[in-house]
Structure 1
Amino acid sequence: MTNIPLFRVMKDDHWVKPFFKQYKLALVAALFLGFLTFFSAGALMFISGFLISKSASLPTNILLVYIPIVLTRTFGIARPVFRYLERLTSHNWVLKMTSQLRLKLYQTLEQDAIFIKRDFRLGDVIGLLAEDINHLQNLYLRTIFPTVIAWILYLFIVIGLGFFSWWFALFMFLYLAILIFLFPLVSVLVNGARQQKEKALKNGLYTELTDNVLGISDWIFSQRGQEYVALHESSQNQLMAVQAKMKSFQNKRALLFEVAYGGLILATFLWAGSHFTGHHGGAANWVAAFVLSLLPIIDAFAGLSAASQETNSYADSIERLNALPSLRPESTTNQQPQAPYTLEINNLSFHYAGDERLVLDQLSLTIPQGQKLAILGRSGSGKSTLATLLRGDLTPSLGDISLGGVPVTAIGEAIPAYIGVIQQAPYLFRTSLLNNIRLGNEKASLEQVWHVLERVGLKEMVATLPQGLDTMVDEAGLRFSGGERHRIALARILLKETPIVILDEPTVGLDPITEKQLLTTFMEELKGKTVIWITHHLKGIEYADRVIFLENGQLEMEGSPAFLAETSPRFRHLKAVDDGEKETL
Structure 2
Amino acid sequence: MNFFKTFKFDTWVKPYIKQYKGLLITALILGLFTSFCAAALMFTSGYTIDKAATHPVNILLIYVPILLTRAFGIGRPVFKYVERLKSHNWVLRVTSDLRTRLYKTLESDASFFNEHHKAGDIMGLLSEDISHLQNLYLRTVFPTVISYLLTIIGSIALGIFNPSFGFFVFLLLFIEVFLVPLLSVTIESARRAYQKEVKSDLYVQLTDNILGVDDWVISGRKADFKNLTTENIHNLDQSKNKSKAFRRNRDFGLQIIFAAIAICFLIFTNLTMTHNQAQANFVAAVVLAIFPLSDTIIPVSQGFEEWPVYKDSINRLNTIKPIPNTLPKQVELKPNNFKSISINNITFEYDSDSPILIKNFSQQIQKGEKLALLGPSGIGKTTILQLILGDLSPQQGQIQINDLDISQVQEKRDQLFSVLNQKPFLFNTTLMNNVRLGNETKSNIEVKKAIERVGLKDLVESLPDKYNTVVGENGSRFSGGEQERIALARILLQDAPVVLLDEPTVGLDPITENDLLETFFDVLHNKTIIWVTHHLQGISHVDHVVFMNSEKIEMEGSPKELYKSNQHFQELYRMDQGL
Q: TM over 0.5: same fold?
A: yes
Write the distance in 2 (CA, Å) between the matches of 1:344 and 1:413.
20
Equivalents in 2 of 1:112, 1:336: separation in Å?
20
Give, as a single letter, the amino acid of the residue that structure 2 aligns with 1:238: N
Residue correspondence of structure 1 range 238-253 to structure 2 within 5 A: 238-253=235-250
Give the drift of 1:384: 0.8
Do the aligned partners of 1:439 and 1:492 also contact (CA within 8 Å) in 2?
yes
- Residue 253 of structure 2 corresponds to which residue in structure 1? 256
2:34 to 9, 33, 37: 37
2:140 matches 1:143: yes
Question: Offset of 1:548 from its aligned partner?
Answer: 0.3
Q: CA deviation at 1:329?
A: 5.2
Q: Between 498-507 and 5-14, report the one with greater CA deviation.
A: 5-14
What does 1:118-197 correspond to in 2, within 5 Å?
A: 119-121=116-118, 124=121, 128=125, 131-197=128-194
* Mapped contact 2:328–2:408 kept (Cα < 8 A): no
Residue aligning to 2:298: 302
1:385 CA drift (Å): 0.9
1:81 to 78, 83, 91: 78
Looking at structure 2, the residues matched to 354 and 108 of structure 1 have their Cα atoms a distance apart, in angstroms, of: 28
Partner of 2:262: 265
| 1:550–1:116 distance in 2 versus 1, CA, 3 Å | farther
Q: Partner of 1:529 in structure 2? A: 527
Match of 2:361 among 363, 366, 372: 363
Question: Structure 2 counterpart of 1:56, which letter?
Answer: A
Matches within 5 A, 1:28-427: 28-105=25-102, 114=111, 119-121=116-118, 124=121, 128=125, 131-210=128-207, 212-214=209-211, 216-217=213-214, 219-220=216-217, 226-278=223-275, 281-324=277-320, 326=322, 333-337=329-333, 339-353=337-351, 355=353, 357-427=355-425
Instruction: Indicate the SS of the match to 1:178.
Output: helix
Q: Secondary structure at the match of 2:260?
A: helix
Q: Could you tell me how far 1:511 is from its partner in structure 2? A: 2.1
For the Cα contact (< 8 Å) 1:123–1:210, is it kept in 2? no
Q: Secondary structure at 2:500's aligned position in 1?
A: strand
Q: Residue 106 of structure 2 contacts residue 322 of structure 2 at CA under 8 Å; is this kept in 1?
A: no
CA gap 1:416/1:214 in 2 versus in 1, 3 angstroms = farther
> How many residue pairs were aligned?
577
Measured after TM superposition, the shift of residue 363 of structure 1 is: 1.3
* 1: CA distance, partners of 2:168 / 2:213: 63
Corresponding residue for residue 570 of structure 1: 568
Pick closer, same or farther for the CA change 1:120–1:372 going to 2, 3 Å: same
Query: Which amino acid is the alignment partner of residue 294 of structure 1?
Result: I
- How far apart are 1:241 and its partner, in Å? 1.2
Structure 1 residue 579: deviation in Å?
Answer: 1.3
Query: In 1, are the aligned partners of 2:374 and 2:535 still within 8 Å (CA)?
Result: yes
- 1:513 aligned onto 2:541: no
Cα deviation, residue 332, structure 1? 9.2
Q: Please say if residues 375 and 532 of structure 1, whose CA atoms lie closer than 8 Å, have aligned partners that are also in contact.
A: yes
State the TM-score, normalizing by the size of structure 2. 0.92
Q: Please give the secondary structure, in 2, of the residue aligned with 1:380.
A: coil
Aligned-residue CA RMSD in angstroms? 2.6
The code of the aligned residue for 2:318 comes to: N
* Superposition deviation, residue 334 in structure 1: 4.3
Q: What whole-Å deviation, never above 9, does each CA across 1:233-280 have from its counterpart, x for those lacking one?
A: 2222221111111112222222221111111111111112222233x6
Aligned position for 2:452: 454
The offset of 1:557, in angstroms, is 1.4
TM-score scaled by structure 1?
A: 0.92
Larger CA deviation: 75-84 vs 164-173: 164-173
Q: Tell me, in whole angstroms, the C-alpha distance in 2 between the residues paired with 1:221 and 1:110.
A: 45
Amino acid at match of 1:291: V
CA distance, structure 2, for counterparts of residue 572 and residue 422 of structure 1? 28
What CA deviation, in whole Å up to 9, does each residue of 1:330-356 have, x standing for no partner? 979543235234112122122225735
Rate the CA distance shift 1:102–1:217 in 2: closer, same or farther, 3 A.
farther
1:23 pairs with one of 20, 24, 46? 20
C-alpha displacement at 1:227, in angstroms?
A: 3.7
8 Å CA contact 1:358–1:553 kept in 2: the answer is no
Once residues 102 and 218 of structure 1 are traced to their aligned partners in structure 2, the CA distance between those partners, rounded to angstroms, is 43
Distance 1:337 1:211 in 2: 48
Q: Deviations over 1:111-166 (max 9, x none)?
A: 66556776555655565566544433321121111100101111111122233222
482, 501, 504: which one pairs with 1:503? 501
Q: Determine if contact 2:328/2:407 at 8 Å carries over to the other structure.
A: no
Checking the alignment, whether the CA contact within 8 Å between 2:172 and 2:257 is kept in structure 1 is: no
Query: Pick from 559, 562, 568: which aligns with 1:561?
Result: 559
Amino acid at match of 1:93: W
Structure 1 residue 531: Cα displacement: 0.4
Matching residue's letter, 2:400: S
1:294-338 CA distance string (max 9 Å, x none): 000011111112221222222122223333454555979543235
1:80 deviates by 0.7
Report sequence identity in percent.
Answer: 46
Deviations 1:535-579 (A, max 9, x none): 001111111100001212632211111221222111111111111
**1:350 and 1:17 mapped to 2: Cα distance?**
41
The one-letter code sitting in structure 1 at the alignment partner of 2:316 is R
DSSP 3-state at the match of 1:375: strand
SS in 2 for 1:538: coil
Letter in 2 for 1:43: A
**Structure 2, unaligned runs of 5 or more:** none
Task: Name the amino acid aligned to 2:72.
Answer: F
Matched position secondary structure for 2:429? coil
What letter corresponds to residue 138 of structure 1 in structure 2?
A: N
Report if the CA contact (8 A) 2:356-2:380 is conserved.
Answer: no
Shift of 1:478: 1.9
Distance 1:199 1:28 in 2: 35
Does the 8 Å contact 2:356/2:379 carry over to 1? no
Q: Report the CA distance shift for 1:9/1:432 in structure 2 as closer, same or farther (over 3 A).
A: same
The residue type paired with residue 527 of structure 1 is H
2-side partners of 1:408 and 1:221: how far apart? 52
Q: Deviation at 1:92? A: 3.1
